[in-house]
Amino acid sequence: MSQEQTTFGWFSEEQQTPTPQTVDVGIGAVSIDDVVAVARRGAQIRIIDEARAEVEKSRRIIEELAHDTVPHYGISTGFGALATKHIPVAKRQQLQHSLVASHAAGSGPLVEREVVRALMLLRISTLATGRTGIRPQTLDTYVAMLNAGITPCVREYGSLGCSGDLAPLSHCALALMGEGEVLDKHGEQMDAARALDAAGIEPVVLEEKEGLALINGTDGMLGMLCLAIDDLRMLLTTADLAAAMSVEGLLGTDDVFAADLQALRPHPGQAAAAENMRKMLSDSEIRRSHRDPSACTRVQDAYSLRCAPQVHGAARDTLAHAITVAERELAAAVDNPVVTLDGRVESNGNFHGAPVAYVLDFLAVVIADVASMSERRTDRFLDVARNHGLPPFLADDPGVDSGLMIAQYTSAGIVSELKRLAAPASVDSIPSSAMQEDHVSMGWAGGRKLRRSVDGLARVLGIELITAARGIQLRAPLQPGGGAQALIDHLQLPAPGSDRYLSPEIERIASLVTHGMAVQAAETALGQLN
């Protein structure tokens, strides 16, 4: 997926904060919020003194082993299936260069700038643990490149998620050497050597172990996970708001969202979602109009209304698990071989992407389900047999006007795509490196499709907001609750009327949803939401 194919891409210069924050990187892990700040808001990074001392210490160990008569993987040997071949000292700089150049074998459209910046930060974070044996000057050059806004051109395809994201990380390492192509801070594509020179950065010449240290890790898939977590924290709250507006506009009941009923099934995500929905409906005149059982003969609402907290809550709890995995991974030093705390250099399998790959797939599953439920609520508004007195397709002059008929088609098409994207990438494995790497995670592919899933969810929720708003407006003179009215006002959702060109409206609302404006609008009336 190219940068132009998704709403969830690099924030433009004017969207960045005027004075970007600085993120300290060292032996303590960076946080998910740090990743987002660097990737999306242009925050600068700096290496703390304790980390620099540890980097220097581990580098001395590597330099001692470089002259050992016993071969050491990645220091004095080839790589992968060629690990048995000893490399003489005179060829070791060439060994590192060849490793990076040959592994920078990506293909396809450019990956979004925010993903590459997240990847770079996470590789720097691992290098700063002192467990990789990188030289301090190489680490400093990597930091300088990121802080200068230089973003290597990373291609869509090339990573199997084991040994980490080799091709994407290699494209970054290649730029560090002054080769390959990059985007400068203004987004102009150019040769890496030219961009480094303009920023006053000297390209590095890699020495023993440094090639492996730069390319062996799960940083790309982890970066995409962190960005998706940031998006989904906001989108799942948006889903609660859209569902509550649909309940309101379809004359549903909020009685089923009562705290004591939710507590009978004590999932924390469910309780949080139900609380948001209660807040949205608490002061609704529309809801009060049919609270009298004698005036409303329906015993129960449809599942897409009544069970929204259960589905949204399960999604929230899955997201909580993904956050736990991401935080553990952020605290990791993913490299092979690794310099241990007591100074040994040991081969290991910590680069395998399975832990991250699984949760990337889990999130794609829950996104598809949350979006599917949203689309079903949208569809209910358009059907006179189920919308409780609203016009067909919410049209102004049904027959002459089609109303929101085709907006639902768009939502349904996206949901169908989301279901296909929910097929897990991590269940597949194609052996590589002459069967040395005979089981891989495909986590990078999981991250790529998750980004498309996140974008699709925002669009589906945007269409539900448009539909629910029109349904609520058609209940006039009855007034909605404060949360719904704030959303309608702040998102400038138009009043019902004759048919108009819908695509720009859908795109505008999807963009506002993407950037958290729906949540911000509701919070102006309701206070902080879960």
Q: The CATH number of the domain where 519 resides is what?
A: 1.20.200.10
Show which of 217, 245, 280 is a domain's final residue: 217
Domain contains 344 = no
* Cβ neighbours, 10 Å, residue 212: 27
Domain contains 335 = no
Tokens of 410: 């768009």
What's the Cα-to-Cα distance from 459 to each of 90, 405, 481, rounded to whole Å?
57, 16, 24
**Residue 290 has what pLDDT?**
85
Q: Which domain holds residue 428?
A: 225-330+357-526
Domain contains 151 = yes
| Residue 156 and residue 234 in one domain | no
| Residue 317 and residue 195 in one domain | no
Among candidate residues 73, 303, 358, 501, the one labeled active-site is 73
Domain contains 340 = no
**Residue 82 has what pLDDT?**
67
**Residue 83 has what pLDDT?**
66
Residue 73 catalytic? Answer: yes
**Residue 295 has what pLDDT?**
62
Residue 454 confidence (pLDDT) above 60: yes
Residue 70 confidence (pLDDT) above 60: yes
Domain contains 349 = no
Residue 302 confidence (pLDDT) above 90: yes
* Cβ neighbours, 10 Å, residue 353: 30
- Beta carbons of 319 and 363 less than 8 angstroms apart: yes
Domain contains 337 = no
- Tens-place pLDDT, residues 155-213: 999 989 887 799 999 999 999 999 999 999 999 999 999 999 999 999 999 999 999 89
- pLDDT band for position 10 (cuts 50, 70, 90): very low
pTM above 0.85, yes or no: yes
More confidently predicted of 14 and 18: 18
What's the Cα-to-Cα distance from 517 to each of 8, 317, 375, 411, rounded to whole Å?
14, 23, 20, 20
Mean pLDDT, residues 248-261 taken together: 96
| Residue 189 and residue 267 in one domain | no
**Residue 107 dihedral angles phi and psi, to the nearest 5°:** -145, 160
| Residue 288 and residue 202 in one domain | no
What is the DSSP track for 227-254? HHHHHHHHHHHHHHHHHHHHHHHTT--S
- Beta carbons of 447 and 362 less than 8 angstroms apart: no
Domain contains 313 = yes
Domain count for the chain, please give it. Answer: 2
- Beta carbons of 23 and 48 less than 8 angstroms apart: no
- Tens-place pLDDT, residues 212-228: 899 988 999 999 999 99
